Amino acid sequence: MAPYPEKAQSSEASAPLRLLSVVIPARDEEGCVAGTVEHLHLELGLHGIPHEIVVVDDGSGDGTWAILRDVGARIPAIKPVKNDGPHGFGRAIQRGIEASGGDAVVIMMADESDDCRDVIRYWQKLNEGFDCVFGSRFVSGGGTIDYPWPKWILNRLANTFIRFLFGIRLNDTTNAFKAYRRSVLDGCRPILSPHFNLTVELPLKAIVRGYSWTVIPVTWRNRRTGIPKLKIKEMGSRYFFIVAYVWLEKSFSRGDYRKAEPAGPTHE
C-alpha cells in the first residue's frame, strides 16, 4: 500500500491560501449548532485565520434556522444558508460549497463531535502545499469518545475493505471531517452522492484523480444533544455504490479525470 505523501506534489497547490470556508450541514440541531459555530469562530479568530462558517439548514423542523439567523446577525463570519430541497447530507454539503467563497474548505459536523482545534491543523497542513488533508480517528494521536460499539465494528470493516480495494493506507475514509483546496472540489465534479456517501466519494475521487494528500490524527466525541442523522441500514448500499463507482473510474477510465500536471517543477 502506498504511504502517506510527505510533500505536496504541485506548484499550484503551494499557492498561499487567503480564506478558509468551514461548511457545516445542519438538520434539527437547535440544541447544539450555536455552540458549535461560536466555539469554532472563536478558535479560528484566536489563531488569526481568515474564515467564514457556512451553515446549511437542510430542512430542519425545529428552531435551527432561527438560531442560525440570530448567530449570523451577531457574527458576520457565520453565514446561514438554506437548502430548500431536495434534502440530504451530500446535497447540503454541495449547497454549502457553492455558497462559500474560500479557496480552502473544511467539512465539519454541526453536533460538535469534531474538535475545532483540529480545523487549525487542517489549515496549517493545507498551507504546507497539500491538496487535501484527511483526519483519522484511528491513528496514533487520534481517538474517539463514547463511540457506539456496533458503529465502531461496522466502521472498521468498511474502512478495511476500502483500504484494500484501493491500496491506500488511509484508514478512516468514512469520516466526514476533512479539508480540501477548492481546486480539488472543482476537480472532483460531478459530485454524485446526495447523502452520507459523499464522505467517501470526495476523498476517494481526490486520491484516484491524483491530488496530493496527507493524514493527521483527529479526535471525535459522540454527540451530547439531538439524535444521529446517519442511518446505517439505509446507507449501506449507497456507500457500496459510490465506492464501486470510483473503483471503476480508477480501473478503467485510463486517467481521463486525473488532475492536470503543472508545466513547472514539482515539490516531490
Phi, psi angle pair for 5, to nearest 5°: -60, 140
CA gap 51, 130 in Å, rounded: 19
In sequence order, the 6+-apart residues with CB closer than 8 A to the CB of 234 are 195
What are the chain's domains? 17-252 (3.90.550.10)
By DSSP bridging, strand 20-26 and strand 78-82 are unpaired
| pLDDT tens, residue order, the chain (268 aa) | 555 665 555 445 567 899 999 999 999 999 999 999 999 999 999 999 999 999 999 999 999 999 999 999 999 999 999 999 899 999 999 999 999 999 999 999 999 899 999 999 999 999 999 999 999 999 999 999 998 898 899 999 999 999 999 999 999 999 999 999 999 999 999 999 999 999 999 999 999 999 999 999 999 999 676 665 555 566 689 999 999 999 999 999 989 999 976 543 333 3
Cell representation of residue 254: 485510463
- DSSP code per residue over 21-51: EEEEEESS-TTTHHHHHHHHHHHHHHTT--E
Cα angle for residues 37, 41, 43 (degrees, 5° grid): 120
pTM: 0.90
Count of Cβ atoms closer than 10 Å to residue 233 Cβ: 6
244: cell is: 464501486
